[in-house]
Structure 1
Amino acid sequence: MNSIDIRLGIISALPEEQAGLIEHMQHAQSIPRGMRDFITGKLWGVSSVCVVSRIGKVAAAATATTLIERFNVTHIVFTGVAGGADGDVRVGDIVVANGLLQHDMDASPLFPRFEVPLTGLSWFAADLSLTTQLKHAAQQFLLQDFMQEINDADRAEFKLKTPRLHCGLIASGDEFIDCDIKLSSLKQHLPALLAVEMEGAAVAQVCHEFGVPFAVVRTISDDANGDAAINFTRFIEQVARCYARNILRRFCASLAR
């Protein structure tokens, strides 16, 4: 993959999730469009457009479409936080999606549950090449940067001992999952589910329909249970933004080679 041919779109749902990226963008220029600020420039040698989508599937889909149609991005990466949906996935772990679906999509009996009508698909596969590079960047962050980037106090507060990397299914829906009963119900239907959030599958569908390669990386901020909202903002500001900055730094470096 030649970085000369790449224009990378980077989406996050919240400003705090992207703050560490914008600080490192060279020749940054803000272009307003559709009630969003699209920040263009270079990130670690890669032509990039960073944008905060806001929360939810419609907001994420509109943002991804604008990146493709107005800013001519060739690849899209979504970075942010998610709730863990598996016993092996803990706060501070990283989940890179190999596929995404909308857990609140249900047009049955006209179509099977989770299937997006008239596409024949429920699961949208992430681009293999981008996902592989993103996984490598995340693993290198955990091995080489984590202890230096996340201080002792934050590691203790959020019980971050030895974070791990996972790759698998992420599900999106217009609902903040913070209840064990809701999560258990999802796991019954989707045993392979690793994380839940509110945007990724919408971006995946847009990218599928436009033929744009995409990848999604999520830092686990909570266990999608009754304690999910506790210290959520502090986790994003103190931990997740550091994850995003360092993973994308390594990811962009791999694209720029």
Structure 2
Amino acid sequence: MKKRIIGIMGAMPEEIEGVVSLLNNCTSSSMGKRTYFSGQINGIDTVVVFSRWGKVAAATTVTTLIHEFKITELWFTGVAGAIDPDLKIGDVVVGKRLIQHDMDARPLMNQHEIPLLNKTYFESDASLLDMASKSVATIFKNSSLNSAIDAEDLNRFSITKPQLFIGDIASGDQFFSSNEQKQNLNNQLPDVLCVEMEGAAVAQVCYEYAIPFCIIRTISDAADANSHLDFPSFVKKIASKYATEIIKDIYSQF
């Protein structure tokens, strides 16, 4: 049986800091302008890395994890902009299906279809999806975020009763900062819950190498004209704590 080695990626440096602190016997190595942190969490070999922004950067990072570190599964934590109007800042979306919203090779093939793969969506591993969903539900139910995050910061972003959503996530090399972008995406892909810049690229690489994966996204903004205003602060004060608490609970299930 192949040895279990878990890869954890974060889209922002702040998002992996807390996860790195969970590693025992932590060592680091540099490769391709990235620092990979290796160690164990609950006795399981784990590699944690900041992916950098965008599809190419994320695809490069996960490919390195597969080839150099021999990971057997991949978890990705990060932030996303809300597309579905029911989503609020502080909610969490666990991706059931991932799609690249900026892939368009028409008229050679259908919009959003990945060339040569005959696929439009990449589905998360069912068992990892279930674990992630249980972990998010647990930390929300137990209000463990209240002990990890200052009440002042929760109040600042109006986070009172965050909710778990499971569904489609769209990825593309765009930061959404206008209502027009948001509406255009919603018109094309009405089932998409949120938008980000890495998940579907990571999903494609994992699919091609048969690596189970799961994408977990914390809603940081409404993907509109105000998206950029509190983004850095949200990542540092909120999203980084979410990532650490979710990963801790996931490992408690192993």
Measured against aligned partners, the alpha-carbon deviations of 1:119-156 in whole angstroms (never above 9, x if no partner) come to 10010000000010011011111111122222221111
Matching residue of 2:224: 225
Q: How many residues align?
A: 253
Deviations 1:60-106 (A, max 9, x none): 00001000011000000110111111011110000000010100000
Deviates more, 1:188-197 or 1:145-154: 145-154
TM-score (norm 1): 0.96
Which deviations, in whole Å up to 9, do the C-alpha atoms of 1:175-228 show, x marking residues without a partner? 001111111111111111101000000000000000000000011000000010
RMSD: 1.1
The answer to whether the 8 Å contact 1:45/1:252 transfers is no
Partner residue of 1:120 out of 118, 121, 126:
118
Q: Which residue of 2 aligns with 1:178?
A: 177
Q: Tell me, yes or no, if structure 1 residue 29 matches structure 2 residue 54.
A: no
Tell me the secondary structure at the aligned position of residue 65 of structure 1: helix
Hey, what does 1:7 align to over in structure 2? 5
Matches within 5 A, 1:32-51: 32-51=30-49
Residues 233 and 44 (structure 1 numbering): CA distance in 2 closer, same or farther, change over 3 Å?
farther
For 1:152 and 1:23, how far apart are their aligned partners in 2?
22
Specify the alignment match of 1:156 in structure 2.
155
Which runs of 5 or more residues in structure 2 are unaligned?
none
Deviations 1:38-78 (A, max 9, x none): 11001233210001110000000000100001100000011
Secondary structure of 1:131's counterpart equals helix
| Structure 1 counterpart of 2:234 | 235
Give aligned-pair identity as a percent. Answer: 40
Structure 1 distance, partners of 2:141, 2:98, is 26
1:86 aligns with one of 59, 81, 84: 84
